[in-house]
Structure 1
Amino acid sequence: MQNRMLSIGEKFPEFKKTAVVSLEKGNEFYEITSQDHINAGKWLVMFWWPKDFTFVCPTEIAEFNKKNQDFKDRDAILIGASTDSEFVHLAWRQNHDDLRGLKFPMLADTSKSLAEELGILEANEKIAYRVTYIVDPQGIVRWVSANDLSVGRNVGEVIRVLDALQTDELCPCNWQKGEATLTA
């Protein structure tokens, strides 16, 4: 039986996982915890992809990387994740031109425990769906978006939603940063 997908208003699970953070020998890996963004008083944007060494995934990862500074400017920590190991992540980064210069960590959920707690494992292969979470500085999920395995997500929309959430106001359809919000 598959777990229900973690949703808005729920506490993001605690985790402690190894991530690839560099290609520099001896500095490739770093341990990341669920408390890192909370202790820093920052938002968390965690996006999951199904498998390393595939076709749609690197297009998304490269686009998130291009927009990494946009997330930093919004006091958000960006983390990419899959159920592949840190060694597979490292090999993929070393062998893919668009991934060598990543500015955010690639979290390895090798045990699949975090993906399972989030309820985002595909039933047959036990790989993660393309899911994006925006988590506030208190560790509460404020937005979830899930895509079918074959469809890449829109990174601009993730940023737009983060902007809207950070206003803490009512934002109409298609609202963009700088536009008027609604008054009740």
Structure 2
Amino acid sequence: MSLINSEIKPFSAQAYQNGKFVSVSDADLKGKWSVVFFYPADFTFVCPTELEDLADTYGEFQKLGVEIYSVSTDTHFSHKAWADTSPAIGKIKYVMVGDPSGVITNNFGVMREGQGLADRGTFLVDPQGVIQFMEITAEGIGRNAAELLRKVKAAQYVASHPGEVCPAKWEEGEKTLAPSLDLVGKI
């Protein structure tokens, strides 16, 4: 079942960010654009490469007013231990949410049944708390922060320009489309 255009469900959790434990809830995602980035587990293999890639582009997301929330079913204590021991994870400045109860992971529909682990799910939430983009990949398929950033820019453009849409491979500043009867069969 697609969660596109659905409002995020209530949650509250503990997280790790910049050497501190912080509380996070669904209310924190509202009022700004947010990326909720699920991954299977701390101390694994593909996950740190994805999280480091996000850490390296975090400043670009922040320039767009986007906050990143990485989420796994590990605890916030595990996130801290991982940040303390891994140079890649130690770079992270965004929020690392612990979801040992699985509430958030289940809310977004990415819990692996019977395993207690999240699938690789990426969700873009608009300032109203509505999911505008989602992507779920198999275990061994890592994600690309640059491509996510491009999609965020496209979603923000469409949100601020009613009546326009972004074609495939659209990059900021390029031409968009205005869907109409005149375009049917001409693209």
Same topology, TM > 0.5: yes
Q: What is aligned with 1:126? A: 116
The reply to whether residue 55 of structure 1 matches residue 45 of structure 2 is yes
Amino acid at match of 1:182: L
TM-score by length of 1: 0.91
Q: What is aligned with 2:96? A: 106
Hey, what's the Cα distance between the residues in 2 that align with 1:90 and 1:103?
Answer: 12
Hey, what's the Cα distance between the residues in 1 that align with 2:92 and 2:43?
Answer: 15
- Give the unaligned 5+ runs of structure 1: none
Q: For each residue in 1:24-63, what CA deviation from the matched residue of structure 2 results, as whole angstroms up to 9, or x when unmatched? A: xxxx20001111232xx21011101001000000000000
Contact 2:52 2:91 in 1 (8 A): no
Structure 1 residue 137 displacement after superposition? 0.2
Amino acid at match of 1:180: K
Q: What is the 5 A alignment of 1:81-92? A: 81-92=71-82
Hey, what's the Cα distance between the residues in 2 that align with 1:183 and 1:60?
Answer: 34
- Give the unaligned 5+ runs of structure 2: 159-163, 180-187
Q: Would you identify which runs of 4 or more consecutive aligned residues in structure 1 move more than 3 Å?
A: none
Q: What is aligned with 2:13? A: 17
State how many pairs are aligned. Answer: 174
Hey, what's the Cα distance between the residues in 2 that align with 1:98 and 1:139?
Answer: 30
Secondary structure in 1 matching 2:84: helix
Q: Taking every aligned residue pair, what percent have the same amino acid on both sides?
A: 32
Hey, what's the Cα distance between the residues in 2 that align with 1:22 and 1:77?
Answer: 14
Q: What is aligned with 2:169? A: 174
CA RMSD of aligned residues (A): 1.1
Structure 1 residue 88 displacement after superposition? 0.9
